[in-house]
Amino acid sequence: MADFIPLSVPNFGPREAELAGQAITSGWVSTSGARVAEFEQAIAAYLGMPRAVAANSGSSALHLAAMAAGIRPGDEVLVPTLTFIAAVNPLTRYVGAEPVFIGCDDTLCIDPDAVEDFCANRCTLRGGRLYNNRTGAHVAALEAVHVFGAMADIPRLSDIARRYGLVFIEDATEALGTRYTAGPLAGRCAGTMGDLGCYSFNGNKIVTTGAGGMLVSNHDDWAGHAKHLSTQAKADELQFVHDEVGYNYRMTNVQASLGLAQLARLEEFIAVKKARYDRYRAALDGVRGLRILPFDEENTRPNYWFFSLYLKNSGLDRDTVIRALQAQDIQTRPVWALVHEQADYPKNEAYALDKARDYRANIVNLPCSTNLSEADCDRVIRAVLAL
Amino acid sequence: MADFIPLSVPNFGPREAELAGQAITSGWVSTSGARVAEFEQAIAAYLGMPRAVAANSGSSALHLAAMAAGIRPGDEVLVPTLTFIAAVNPLTRYVGAEPVFIGCDDTLCIDPDAVEDFCANRCTLRGGRLYNNRTGAHVAALEAVHVFGAMADIPRLSDIARRYGLVFIEDATEALGTRYTAGPLAGRCAGTMGDLGCYSFNGNKIVTTGAGGMLVSNHDDWAGHAKHLSTQAKADELQFVHDEVGYNYRMTNVQASLGLAQLARLEEFIAVKKARYDRYRAALDGVRGLRILPFDEENTRPNYWFFSLYLKNSGLDRDTVIRALQAQDIQTRPVWALVHEQADYPKNEAYALDKARDYRANIVNLPCSTNLSEADCDRVIRAVLAL
């Protein structure tokens, strides 16, 4: 019987075990310990940012971003509907705000045309603040999620955010390593161009600490505030004086040790991801109506996190494909159920949904672990072609 | 120069390194992985509960408890003021509720007389629900924190909660291993007698996973709901359908591996704690007006987590003592600043504060790590006696 091929699992080697083992043997396992600051500095250096703030998950990093950005109860936030729900809840419900959902363009990321249309035609700008004509609420922020490692359209989204007074938050939880290679933003990494950017080191991410996250900001005081909020807002370490409602969102020294070892291998991981992506593409794209959705390789260097097999013109049905591959011990998945259709959001506005619905209906994500062998990749290809 | 004696640090051995190393080498580092369920079962078995729900911190466990208990925006919760602020925020501000602060008795835990007085004389019971006469708000819950490993007065507090329709939440973050040894509750562990109980495995706790927490409940559906909320409330694993606002509060497999190794040593740790406590007590209690505050060793087996040197009649000043010991590389700390005096709570009610103020002013916590040697314990004793 053939081995199980998982969708996306960690790729750990001797260095991960060595660094984490040092932390455990030394007893420096908790949220104090030098590796946390070292990992923050390593991520900041990789991204070209002055500092980075570690957190215990990507969700925590996004919640910290919402608080640092000053999103308040009753505010509204423009968010994509084609994303994991943890991209939405921390920026909205965790802080008492409401989402306005926007569909995607062909990068799978939030559609700038639809964002512009909402701001220009459904809102009013008064005194530098945007108000939703329908609800009267203050539209405080715009979130772009770099879906599957693809770069969202940062130049246009940044410009919209600037013109309409919106805080611009990049959810780069899936896009560590994605960067522009052409144009005025050449060299800039996903997550570093908005007011705030968040990363995830969850188990399925390209770099993992088991669970973990990171926040960066182009406002140094926002990053400092996020750090403060992540450590229970302790204003006096000895006397346990706290100057606002804080959280225990700290990363542990063991997690940071894993992250340091993983980050050193990020470029290697991206090279493997690209090789497997190219292999799927050569074998499947354009064959029998199948497509492997493209990344923008002209203007960006994506991190190739997740690969999307697009079924629309193939005559194949998403859930049938997933079940047939599962029966052959090949794990795949659909895109997330659109967030605006989830139980918590029936009353929220949602616009420009056609492409999001189409991609939701027609994408199957193929196995993409960085330890996926060429042989296993070929087994997946054969299984797809035999459908 | 003498070595630094820390207040409370982890005690890790080869088994911790072995189990965590297995998780890392296998690649099972994230929130999936068999050790999480194994650790949940081990804690449940230790506590004599049907199940336990792992979380990434004690604060997360308490937030899950608040949501599982159905504490709603505008509700009020009776909480102790002599505690870490993370005992209060997750049950109140994280869910939009407000605290009513109550002082302590000589166990350092919430004073049952003051709780009874507040319920009987400042509230009205209507239709089984308690309403605060001053604010009109629904008083939804009562929290007891088992401070420093001492058992709060569970029989009286349970009875009050029952008579006034309050959900009773035990914060046992400091009290894993504390149990009744006499009376009708003999054999029952701190955290297992209320509607919900929460534990912490933070770096300074008697059993640590670096960061981590656990929740138990006497309502099986509440525990199940807490588990659901801790995993982003995913109602359909494959299709990413979420039926309410959830959180990423999961423990990782690495953390659970550490916890399993640590839990096997809990009774050994308590024995060391008791030996050091007895040593401090024999040398310091009653000497020159000093006291080592007692645990109730007649009716309970405490876990002896933190030791309290009480200065009131010694002529010594708390902060002077802390600084003098720090100058000799001995780390100590005061009790937390009272929570009702913190920046976020100036408008909240607070009652029966005399003892809490007295203990806040006069306690210094002495080094109490389970790897504190007798020689280092004696060095602390000599330093205190030389003050």
| pLDDT tens digits, one per residue of A36-77 | 999 999 999 999 999 999 999 999 999 999 999 999 999 999
Instruction: Tell which residue, A299, A58, A306, A52, has the closest CA to residue A179.
Output: A299
Asked which of B263, B280, B298 is the last residue of a domain, the reply is B263
A56/B56 CB distance under 8 A? yes
* Residue A315: Cβ-neighbour burial (10 angstroms; 0-12, 13-18, 19+): exposed
Residue A157 covered by a domain? yes
Choose the closest CB to B211 out of A238, A245, A250: A250
Q: Does B386 touch chain A (CB under 8 A)?
A: no
Can you list the residues of chain B whose pLDDT is less than 50?
none
Please give the pLDDT value at position B26. Answer: 85
Q: State what percent of residues in chain A have pLDDT above 90.
A: 93
Is the domain of B238 the same as that of B293?
A: no
Determine the Cα–Cα distance for residues B387 and B374; give it in Å rounded to an integer: 20
B87 and B53 in one domain?
Answer: yes
More confident residue, A2 or A185: A185
B239 & B330 share domain: no
Residues A241 and A316 in one domain: no
Q: Please check whether residue B374 lies inside any domain of the structure.
A: yes
Q: What is the rounded distance in angstroms from the CA atom of residue A158 to the CA atom of residue A168?
A: 7
Q: Are B131 and B100 in contact (CB under 8 A)?
A: no
- pLDDT tens digit sequence for A73-118: 999 999 999 999 999 999 999 999 999 999 999 999 999 999 999 9
Q: Is B7 contained in some domain?
A: no
Q: Is residue B34 located within the same domain as residue B95?
A: yes
Average pLDDT (A166-176) is 98
Identify the DSSP state of B208. Answer: -
Q: Which candidate from B12, B85, B211 shows the least CB-CB separation from A56?
A: B211
> B9, B19, B24, B258: which to substitute to probe chain A, counting the most A Cβ within 10 Å?
B24
Helix residue ranges per DSSP H, A69-139: 112-121
CATH code of the domain covering residue A239: 3.40.640.10
B112 touches chain A (CB under 8 A): no
**DSSP state, A330?**
B
Q: Does the residue B3 lie in any domain? A: no
| Cα(A214)–Cα(A200) distance, integer angstroms | 7
A334 contacts on B by Cβ (under 8 Å): 238-240
Q: Token pair for residue B356?
A: 């809490």
Nearby residues of B346 by Cβ (< 8 Å), 6 or more positions away: none
Q: Could you tell me if B66 and B163 lie in one domain? A: yes
Q: Is residue B4 part of a domain?
A: no
Q: Closest Cα of chain B to A4: distance in Å?
A: 15
pLDDT of B33: 81
Task: State whether residue B50 is helix, strand or coil.
Answer: coil
Across the interface, whether the CB atoms of A255 and B250 are under 8 A apart is answered no
pLDDT value at position A28?
A: 81
Tokens at B176, concatenated: 């894993």
**Overall number of domains in chain A:** 2
With contact defined as beta carbons under 8 Å apart, do A172 and A191 qualify?
A: yes
**Residue B253 falls inside a structural domain:** yes
In angstroms, rounded to a whole number, what is the distance separating the alpha carbons of residues A59 and B31?
Answer: 14
Q: Which residues of chain B form beta strands (DSSP E)?
A: 53-55, 76-80, 98-102, 123-126, 129-132, 138-145, 167-171, 179-180, 196-200, 213-217, 234-236, 241-242, 291-292, 300-301, 307-310, 333-334, 350-351, 363-366
**Pair A215, A361 in one domain:** no
Arithmetic mean of pLDDT, A291-303: 98
Token pair belonging to A14: 């001797």
What is the rounded (10 degree) CA torsion for B371, B375, B381, B384? -90
Single out the residue of A235, A272, A327 nearest to residue A13, CA to CA: A272
The answer to the question of residue A2 being in a domain is no
Give the residue from A212, A233, A263 where a domain finishes.
A263
Q: What is the pLDDT of residue B324?
A: 98
Instruction: Say if residue B227 is in the same domain as residue B299.
Output: no
Residues B79, B101 contacting (CB under 8 angstroms): yes
Whether A195 and A309 map to the same domain: the answer is: no
B26 close to A206: Cβ distance less than 8 angstroms: no
**A232 and A274 co-located in one domain:** no
Query: Which residues have a Cβ under 8 Å from the Cβ of B13 and sit 6 or more positions away?
Result: B261, B265
- Which of A212, A237, A263 terminates a domain? The answer is A263
Residues A246 and A215 in one domain: yes
pLDDT class for A26, splitting at 50, 70, 90? confident
Domain boundaries, position A311: 266-385
Residue at B1 is within a domain: no
Backbone angles phi, psi at B372, to 5 degrees: -70, 120
CA distance B292 to B57: 30
Is A58 near chain B, with CB under 8 Å? yes
Both B259 and B271 in one domain: the answer is no
Do the beta carbons of residue A258 and residue A16 sit within 8 Å? yes
Note the ipTM here: 0.94
Q: What is the dihedral of CA B100, B101, B107, B113, to 10 degrees?
A: -60
As to burial, measured by CB atoms within 10 angstroms (0-12 exposed, 13-18 middle, 19+ buried), residue B267 is exposed
Tell me whether B275 touches chain A (CB under 8 Å).
no
The whole-angstrom separation of Cα B304 and Cα A47 is 46
Would you state the pLDDT for residue B1?
Answer: 53
Residue tagged 């993983």 (tokens): A262
d(CA A275, CA A277): 5
The token duo for B131 is 């309403």
Q: What are phi and psi of B27, to 5 degrees?
A: 85, -5
> What is the identity of the amino acid at A149?
G
Of B65, B7, B28, B5, which is closest to residue B249 (Cα–Cα)? Answer: B65
Write the CATH number for B313.
3.90.1150.10
Residue A130: strand pairing partners? A125, A139
